[in-house]
Structure 1
């Protein structure tokens, strides 16, 4: 994407009512919406996050499937968020918002027990050992998720990476976290939720065309 297109999208994001772009200092020093996200949506519906949402394909798909919940897609790449935000506005999806921030700051932008569910879709598996701290299901991130989730809140991990799937299962077992459901090939085995089977991102379709299995884990944070 050219720099002119990026600048144009950044500018449009500033005018989108469904895009929130706090500065890092604002987040660290006291974010105004922390603990008050229901006020942003104007209702008390459950709040669901998609972390590393990219263009927001999964956020939008979930929001269309279940209008009884509010959905927030989170990513640091503003030019990607633009696509999802623009589509949500065009289709008048009032239960969708996008937050531009770093995932490691998640417990600074949401209050304790404020979130009902978290989706992590096709994250970078960070294969190198020195990149372990950046894996979105490492112990540090799990602690952050537990802090913002309501007791018993669900986390969903959908990925094409067998490594990420196995790594996460091993960690969950080691930490005695309840695994509700796990499947190493959701399109060949029965029992996966409709949200896993019926929503496919652009890259997921490419993975499937190459014959790569798509894995899924659902676990509960107590």
Structure 2
């Protein structure tokens, strides 16, 4: 994408009512006004579901269409990417969708304790090298942050084409004694996966499927870390 197109999308994001772009210093200082106030933003007390690393927002949009009685927030640091999701949500008049431009590592500063009902992690970078372990979105430090913002029985969903990420996360969850609600290492080959796993496919997921890569899925609860 050319720099002119990126700049145009950045400017449009500033005008979109469903895009929130807090300054990093604002978040770190504890002055992010929507922390604990997301129900006010949406104008209702429906459950809040977030997607981490939402990219162009395809999954956020798809989930919001399936579940109009829930509020969905796609989170990504790449503003030019989430522009697409935000624009689509506005065109579709989806009032239960928002996009938050921020680093995922700040997640516990963006939401209050118990404010989130579900977390979706879709096709994250598996960060295979050992020295990149701290950047894996299902490592123990991230699980602690998720535990903080999730409601008591809140759930986490991991959908990925990376067998490494699937196995790493499954092993970590088992080692910590956490509750694994569902695990499938090839959702389109093995029956039983829920509708939201099979019924929503992103652009990149379709590319993975064309290459014959299995798509994996985990659903779990974080009772303690």
1:174 partnered with 2:175: yes
Which residue is equivalent to 1:133?
134
TM-score (norm 2): 0.98
Q: Distance in 2 between matches of 1:29 and 1:40?
A: 21
Partner SS for 1:158:
strand
Q: Distance in 1 between matches of 2:153 and 2:47?
A: 13
Which residue is equivalent to 1:219?
220
Which residue is equivalent to 2:66?
65
Which residue is equivalent to 2:41?
40
Alpha-carbon offset, residue 134 of structure 1: 0.2
Q: Distance in 1 between matches of 2:51 and 2:154?
A: 14
Matches within 5 A, 1:107-118: 107-118=108-119
Partner SS for 2:201:
coil
Which residue is equivalent to 1:87?
88
Q: Distance in 2 between matches of 1:210 and 1:28?
A: 41
Number of residue pairs matched?
Answer: 222
Partner SS for 2:169:
helix
Q: Distance in 1 between matches of 2:117 and 2:108?
A: 14
Partner SS for 1:191:
coil
Question: Any gaps of 5 or more consecutive residues in structure 2?
Answer: none
Alpha-carbon offset, residue 152 of structure 1: 1.3
Partner SS for 1:98:
strand
Taking only aligned residues, the RMSD between alpha carbons, in angstroms, comes to 0.4
Question: Any gaps of 5 or more consecutive residues in structure 1?
Answer: none
1:112-161 per-residue CA deviation (whole Å, 9 max, x = no partner) reads: 00000000000000010000000000000000000000011000000000
Moved over 3 A (4+): none
Alpha-carbon offset, residue 221 of structure 1: 2.0
